[in-house]
Every structure is written in structure tokens, then in C-alpha cells.
């Protein structure tokens, strides 16, 4: 910095100080603290926003036009135990603009300023993580240019902005079997809102609410099955059609896990397998098929494409069962590894002692479209996520670590059963990961500044993703 620049910087600081003093004198003792906080906090935010100028990518940036300017319009103070927020106007080089609300970590009331804002992740270096290979020429797929789904905006009316949790207020994005629509699931149990959104245009539809579990499409894509409260004391297993009309309600007791298959909807209750036949309507009574041959432990149940062979969790193991032949197999799963930690010098290493807590472990299961392999993911915020590939009969084929730590949601296969797409959350971030099932190599496809979560279409040629801001984007998923 030369002498002229130093003088100019010093002059601006004195001007800012003079403005603050004048405002304080005129505001009186009560409003003085608020004005001081607002003034200093806006300066703080503007410094953070400078790192975003000129960048392109996903939210909060337009994927084509770089960000030219970001103005702090207002600071909104939260109450006790609540978050503050800043209303910021993003102005792009092509002249367009967008106003967004950015969450801020609760400030220290004795002094202005925050240690964290909802935009800080966009300034975080995009670095390689253990077990995840950054996008390279060897990656089997690449991501194309994102396309924002403007017609999805009504779905997010009233949803919190940047840095809400889950991302953008969205829990999951669930494609229809035909790849023409997604269910946007968001909220907390007992208050989950489900919206059906046609991907290529059309009005979103809010489905009957009160959902307490994630929805699942029927095998033919004509209906959606989920558990919801509809006025009674207990949740009810329900199927609705694409118009949001209730097709049937199962009037039994609590349901532990369920999975639509071509000829029926299977579900587990009290360790037994039950079914509701395709074509059911009205208030229906399920039929008990049989007791499951090994102890049921959670709501995770995954059928193969035929609907005959089931994979489910039993204790801390994987169980396989064929409902057409009665064949069963129990497969012991490895104990979860502790998460890898980062030293002050930036290197990653296993912790010196301790191990992951098995009670917090989440298991997710998916059959390959050809029905020959089962993908199972173990993950926890403090464990090292692990992808296990088994053959149809339960023999372990491959063991693949997925980053240093963090959750992983349901794995998704490409239609040719060769690649797996996974949404991971390592190091408190978000990464879009693809795994070559034959080689076991995991590629991180995320772009710098994205921090997006997404879901792979059944056709395997595009993702639907959401960033920190409540908005949806379609991204081409192109094979090399």
C-alpha cells in the first residue's frame, strides 16, 4: 500500500468515526447502542462480502453472471435464543439483482460483530479431503452448467435463508421414477411439509401434511406413500396420488419401516412383514405375511427391483431375506471407525484414541438396478463414513471410505449399475460425490463455493440441488 492509499484509508476511517459520533449524539442513550451495533456490524459484513465479488457458481450467485456488488440493506435483531439476520442485495454484472436474508450467529451482546455468518462457507478454500478425490480428468462424470428452477420459488415462501439447517430448510429431494418431478421434503417430525414439483415447469402442489417420515414413490410413480398425522392420535400410513388426493389409509398401529414394490407396499410392524396390495383404496387393513427371520432394529428396509429380496438392518448387522423362497442371510458389519481429525498444520490424521459411538450410526441401503449388488453406507457426524458393497447373497465385494467424517444420505445408483452418487457432509460442509463401483475410487464433483446438496435423477443424467438459499437448480450429470 503506497502513501496515497494509506492516507485515503485513514481518511475513510475518520469519516466513519465522525458519522458514528454524530448519530450517537443525536440518538440519545437508548438508541445509541443500536446505531453503533448496526453501523459496525454492516462494516463487518461488507468486509466479508468483498471476498464474493467477481465469483460465479451456485447460490447466492448467478451461474452465468459474476457478482458485481453486495449491499447490506438492514440488520434484523433476533430475540433471546434466536438468530440475527442481514438483508443483503446481490447485484450482478448483467444488471440483475436479488435480495436475500442471511442468518448470522448470535452476537455477543456486550460488543457488536459476529464470529460467523451464513456466507462464510463461500469463502472457504475448496480443498481435497481424505478419501475424496477432487474433480479430475479421470472422473467418470462431470457436472454441467446449473439451471435455476424459478417456478420452484413458491415452494420456499417463508423458508429461512442462508445457513438455516437443514440446508435452505430442505430435508430431502426425492425424484419420481419417471424423472419428471421431485418431492421437496422439509421441516421437523409432525410438521413436515411435502411439495410435489414438476421439474420442467408447472405449478407446485402441496401434499396433505403432518408427515413424520420421508415419503416414497410407488414403483410406477403414480402415488406417494408416507406416514402422517391426519387428525388422530397416532400416525397413519397413507398413499396419495399425484393430485394430492388420499387413495388409501392403513388403519393399524405404528409402522416401523416401509417400501413400495411392484405388486404392493411392504412394511414392518413389531418385527413382522406386512403388505397392502396394489389397487387398494379407502381405509384398508394390511395383511401379515410373516415374521422376519432376524431381529428388526430400525426403519431401514430396501427391496431389490423385483420386490422379492429385501435388505434391512438387524441389530448392528445387515440382513437379507427373499420373500418368494424364504432364503435369509445375516451379514456382520464392521464397527464404525472414528472420524479423521485435522492438526493445526492442516494435515489429517486418525485420532490418537477413542472410537465412534455405534448408537449414533446411521445406515442407508440401496440395491443396484440390475439387482446384483447392495450398497450400504455407515455414517455419523463423528465417525468416518464407509461405503460397503455386497453381492446379491451378502458377500462383501468392496469397502470404500468416504471422507474424514460426517453424514451420508441414501446412495443412488446410475441406471447401468456402475456408478453411485452420494450426498456427503464432511468437515461440516457439503460435497457431491460419485463412486466407481468397480474401482472403488470416490470423486468429489463439488465446485468451489457451491456447498450444495442434491439428488440424482432415475435416468442418471441430471442432479437436482439446493444451496444455502432456498432455491432449486438442475445440473447436468454428464458421463465422460
pLDDT of residue 168: 46
Distance CA 410, CA 363 (A): 9
SS3 120: helix
Q: Is the pLDDT of residue 91 over 50?
A: yes
Q: Is the pLDDT of residue 52 over 60?
A: yes
Q: Is the pLDDT of residue 214 over 50?
A: yes
Percentage of the chain exceeding pLDDT 90: 39
SS3 151: helix
Using one digit for the tens of pLDDT, what is the confidence trace for 319-376? Answer: 999 988 999 999 999 888 888 888 888 888 887 655 566 667 888 999 999 999 999 9
Q: Is the pLDDT of residue 80 over 60?
A: no
Q: Please, is 124 exposed, middle or buried when counting C-beta atoms within 10 Å of its C-beta (0-12, 13-18, 19+)?
A: middle
Reference 401, options 430, 370, 433, 449; nearest CA is: 433
Dihedral of CA atoms 395, 400, 402, 403 in degrees, nearest 10, equals: 140
Distance CA 40, CA 298 (A): 50
**Least confident window among 238-252, 257-271, 446-460:** 446-460
Q: What is the arithmetic mean of pLDDT over 129-144?
A: 90
Distance CA 304, CA 263 (A): 13
pLDDT of residue 336: 81
Top-confidence residue, 170 or 245: 245
Mean pLDDT for the chain? 82
The alpha-carbon radius of gyration of the chain (Å, integer) is 25
3-state SS record for 361-430? CEEEEEECCCCCEEEEEEEECCEECEEEEEECCCCEEEEEECCCCECECCCEECCCCCEEEEEECHHHCC
Q: Is the pLDDT of residue 115 over 70?
A: no
User: Which residues on adjacent β-strands are paired with residue 174?
Assistant: 183
Reference 342, options 122, 123, 116, 125; nearest CA is: 125
Check: CB of residue 359 under 8 Å from CB of residue 347.
Answer: no
Contacts of 213 by beta carbon, 8 Å cutoff, 6+ apart: 226, 227, 258, 299
Could you check whether the bond before residue 23 is cis, i.e. omega within 30 degrees of 0?
no
User: Which residues on adjacent β-strands are paired with residue 67?
Assistant: 92
Q: Is the pLDDT of residue 442 over 90?
A: yes
Check: CB of residue 327 under 8 Å from CB of residue 311.
Answer: no
pLDDT of residue 17: 55
pLDDT of residue 13: 54
Using one digit for the tens of pLDDT, what is the confidence trace for 402-413? Answer: 999 988 988 999
pLDDT of residue 174: 93
Reference 134, options 432, 449, 440; nearest CA is: 432
Using one digit for the tens of pLDDT, what is the confidence trace for 122-133? Answer: 777 788 899 999
Check: CB of residue 385 under 8 Å from CB of residue 407.
Answer: yes
**Least confident window among 62-66, 72-76, 188-192, 474-478:** 188-192
Q: Please, is 285 exposed, middle or buried when counting C-beta atoms within 10 Å of its C-beta (0-12, 13-18, 19+)?
A: exposed
DSSP annotation of 41: H
Q: What is the arithmetic mean of pLDDT over 27-41?
A: 57
pLDDT of residue 46: 82
Contacts of 463 by beta carbon, 8 Å cutoff, 6+ apart: 143, 421, 432, 454, 455, 456, 457, 474, 475, 477
H or E segment and range at residue 3 = helix 3-50
Q: How many CB atoms lie within 10 A of CB 194?
A: 26
How sure is the predictor about 109, in pLDDT bands with cuts at 50, 70 and 90?
very low
Reference 365, options 318, 429, 323; nearest CA is: 318
Check: CB of residue 190 under 8 Å from CB of residue 210.
Answer: yes
How sure is the predictor about 463, in pLDDT bands with cuts at 50, 70 and 90?
very high
Q: What is the arithmetic mean of pLDDT over 136-149?
A: 89
How sure is the predictor about 297, in pLDDT bands with cuts at 50, 70 and 90?
low
Distance CA 278, CA 262 (A): 8
pLDDT of residue 250: 93
Amino acid at each position: 500500500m503506497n502513501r496515497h492509499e494509506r492516507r485515503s484509508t485513514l481518511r475513510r476511517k475518520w469519516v466513519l468515526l465522525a458519522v458514528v459520533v454524530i448519530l450517537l449524539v443525536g440518538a440519545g442513550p437508548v438508541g445509541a447502542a443500536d446505531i453503533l451495533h448496526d453501523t459496525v456490524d454492516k462494516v463487518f459484513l461488507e468486509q466479508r462480502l468483498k471476498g464474493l465479488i467477481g465469483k460465479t457458481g451456485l447460490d447466492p450467485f448467478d451461474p452465468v453472471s459474476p457478482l458485481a456488488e453486495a449491499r447490506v440493506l438492514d440488520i434484523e435483531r433476533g430475540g433471546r435464543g434466536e438468530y440475527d439476520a442481514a438483508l443483503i442485495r446481490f447485484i450482478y454484472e448483467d444488471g440483475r439483482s436479488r435480495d436475500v436474508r442471511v442468518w448470522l450467529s448470535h452476537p455477543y451482546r456486550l460488543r457488536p460483530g459476529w464470529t460467523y455468518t451464513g456466507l462464510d462457507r463461500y469463502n472457504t478454500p475448496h480443498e481435497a479431503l481424505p478419501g475424496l478425490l477432487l474433480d479430475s480428468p479421470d472422473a467418470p462424470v462431470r457436472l454441467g452448467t446449473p439451471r435455476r428452477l424459478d417456478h420452484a420459488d413458491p415452494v420456499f415462501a417463508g423458508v429461512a435463508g442462508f445457513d438455516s439447517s437443514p440446508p435452505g430448510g430442505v430435508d430431502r429431494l426425492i425424484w419420481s421414477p419417471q424423472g419428471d418431478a421431485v418431492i421437496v421434503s422439509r421441516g421437523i417430525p409432525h410438521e413436515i411439509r411435502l411439495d410435489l414439483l414438476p421439474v420442467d415447469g408447472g405449478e407446485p402442489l402441496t401434499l396433505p401434511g403432518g408427515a413424520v417420515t420421508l415419503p416414497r414413490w410407488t414403483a410406477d410413480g403414480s402415488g406417494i406413500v408416507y406416514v402422517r398425522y391426519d387428525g388422530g392420535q397416532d400416525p397413519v400410513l397413507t398413499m396419495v396420488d399425484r393430485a394430492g388426493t388420499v387413495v388409501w389409509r392403513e388403519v393399524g398401529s405404528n409402522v416401523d419401516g416401509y417400501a413400495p414394490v411392484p405388486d404392493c407396499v411392504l412394511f414392518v410392524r413389531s418385527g413382522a412383514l406386512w403388505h397392502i396390495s396394489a389397487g387398494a383404496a379407502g381405509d384398508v387393513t394390511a395383511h401379515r405375511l410373516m415374521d422376519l427371520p432376524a431381529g428388526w432394529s430400525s426403519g431401514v428396509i430396501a427391496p431389490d427391483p423385483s420386490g422379492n429380496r429385501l435388505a434391512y438392518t438387524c441389530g448392528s448387522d445387515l440382513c437379507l431375506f427373499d420373500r418368494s423362497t424364504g432364503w435369509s442371510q445375516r451379514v456382520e458389519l464392521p464397527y464404525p471407525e472414528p472420524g479423521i481429525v485435522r492438526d493445526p498444520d492442516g494435515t489429517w490424521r486418525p485420532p490418537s484414541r477413542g472410537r465412534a459411538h455405534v448408537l449414533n450410526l446411521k445406515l442407508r441401503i440401496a440395491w443396484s438396478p440390475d439387482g446384483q449388488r447392495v450398497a450400504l453406507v455407515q455414517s455419523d457426524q463423528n465417525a468416518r463414513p464407509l461405503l460397503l458393497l455386497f453381492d446379491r447373497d451378502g458377500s462383501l465385494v468392496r469397502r470404500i471410505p468416504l471422507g474424514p467424517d460426517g453424514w451420508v444420505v441414501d446412495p443412488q445408483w446410475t441406471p447401468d449399475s456402475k456408478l453411485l452418487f452420494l450426498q456427503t457432509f464432511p468437515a461440516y460442509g457439503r460435497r457431491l460425490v460419485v463412486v466407481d463401483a468397480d474401482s472403488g475410487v470416490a470423486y468429489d464433483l463439488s465446485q468451489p463455493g457451491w456447498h450444495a446438496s442434491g439428488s440424482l435423477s432415475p435416468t442418471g443424467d441430471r442432479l437436482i440441488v439446493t444451496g444455502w438459499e432456498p432455491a432449486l437448480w438442475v445440473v447436468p450429470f454428464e458421463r465422460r
